[in-house]
Amino acid sequence: MTGIINVQNRSKKVTEIDIEGTIGIPEELQFVNKAQKVATYKKFKEQIDRIKSIASSEIVVNIRSTGGNINDAILIHDTLKASGKTIITRCFGYVASAATIIAQAASEGKREISKNALYLIHKSISASEGNSNNLSETIDLLNKTDEQIVEIYAMRSGLPADNFRQLMEYNNGNGLWLNAKETIERGLADTYIETSPIQNIRKKWNELVNLILKTPDDKKSEIVLNTNQILQNLDNDNDKLSQLKEIKSKIKPPETLKKEDPSYDEIIMSENARAYYKDVQQFNK
């Protein structure tokens, strides 16, 4: 998978960053094929500079990556923490190695993980050649890198550093895959990602329908103004949001046909009310 960092301004308050695939490759390989360029610090910093120039107070970082260059990951981590924004990291699918460092850049209590995600930390890996002195220098650098990684995990988790040294040593230094529950228990994430975008849409839609049904017919036109509050939190669901806004723009006071007065025990629902009731039933299936 080609490494991707994608920055999208979802609203004036929220900017989303998607990090997928490989995190960094050697700089000399960046020029072999422009289509294969990946998430290097230089490229990422350009996006961070964009973020600093806008009014977003919150950055959501979606992570789906099996890792890559630890140096680039630490630089991304430090850039996020230095941004002065509220940082939320959300881990999906396989999140491993260097990608787990970026996940630790979240603000306090803001490290989220999908219940279906798998999480891996392990000892750092390198390739080296040369004489014994060269190899000794590589070993020394790897050991220092491991200690830096352990320090980041320990600081964010509040747990002793030895917990993470032992976890990274598992399986001959290749680490151990953790499920979401184990990741939270070991202090590497804070909470589950509880709701999907479609669940959020259903919740907001039901709020809108309930508001309409509770409003007298002669005041339903006022709902057009009141629904702004319901819709403002749906910026991350662009397709569904546009549909709801289109529905919102068409809301008008219902027209009723003249008919004889109903009997005293007859319950009458307007065509408008029946239509919304059917919508509620459909969304709740």
The token pair at 34 is 């422009």
The gap from C-alpha 261 to its chain's centroid, in whole angstroms, comes to 55
Q: Is 75 or 53 the better-scoring residue by pLDDT?
A: 75
Show Cβ contacts of residue 148 under 8 Å, excluding neighbours closer than 6 positions.
Answer: 74
User: What are the residues facing 19 on neighbouring strands?
Assistant: 5, 63
Q: Is 266 or 81 the better-scoring residue by pLDDT?
A: 81
- Assess contact for 15 and 7: CB atoms under 8 A: yes
pLDDT category at 228 given cuts 50, 70, 90 is low
Residue 1's pLDDT is 42
Please state which of the ranges 2-16, 154-168, 202-216 shows the lowest mean pLDDT.
Answer: 202-216
pLDDT category at 76 given cuts 50, 70, 90 is confident
Query: From CA 85, how far away is CA 132, in angstroms rounded?
Result: 46
How many residues in total does the chain contain?
285
Show Cβ contacts of residue 206 under 8 Å, excluding neighbours closer than 6 positions.
Answer: 280, 283, 284
Residue 210's pLDDT is 66
pTM of the full predicted structure? 0.64
Residue 200's pLDDT is 56
Q: Is 269 or 87 the better-scoring residue by pLDDT?
A: 87
Percent of the chain residues topping a pLDDT of 70: 56
Residue 6's pLDDT is 74
Residue 21's pLDDT is 84
Longest dimension (CA), the chain: 101
Of all helices (H) and strands (E), which one includes residue 120?
strand 118-121
Tell me which residue of 190, 281, 205 sits closest to 240, measured CA to CA. Answer: 205
Q: Is 267 or 148 the better-scoring residue by pLDDT?
A: 148
Of all helices (H) and strands (E), which one includes residue 95?
strand 94-96
Average pLDDT over residues 1-24: 75
Query: From CA 218, how far away is CA 215, in angstroms rounded?
Result: 8
Residue 144's pLDDT is 95
Site of tokens 């787990």? 100
Residue 128's pLDDT is 81
Residue 126's pLDDT is 84
Please state which of the ranges 166-170, 173-177, 198-202, 279-283 shows the lowest mean pLDDT.
Answer: 198-202
Q: Is 94 or 218 the better-scoring residue by pLDDT?
A: 94
pLDDT(80) > 60 = yes
Which string of DSSP letters, residue by residue, matches 136-193?
A: HHHHHHHHHHHHHHHHHHHHHH-S-HHHHHHHHHTTTTT-EEEEHHHHHHTTS--EE-
Average pLDDT over residues 76-88: 90
Residue 31's pLDDT is 55
Q: What is the mean pLDDT of the chain?
A: 77
Query: From CA 238, how far away is CA 167, in angstroms rounded?
Result: 40
The token pair at 234 is 């749906």
- Assess contact for 81 and 102: CB atoms under 8 A: no
Question: Position 145: which residue type?
Answer: T
- Assess contact for 5 and 17: CB atoms under 8 A: yes
- Assess contact for 196 and 202: CB atoms under 8 A: no
Q: Strands 191-192 and 58-68, how do they pair?
A: unpaired
Residue 56's pLDDT is 80
- Assess contact for 226 and 211: CB atoms under 8 A: yes
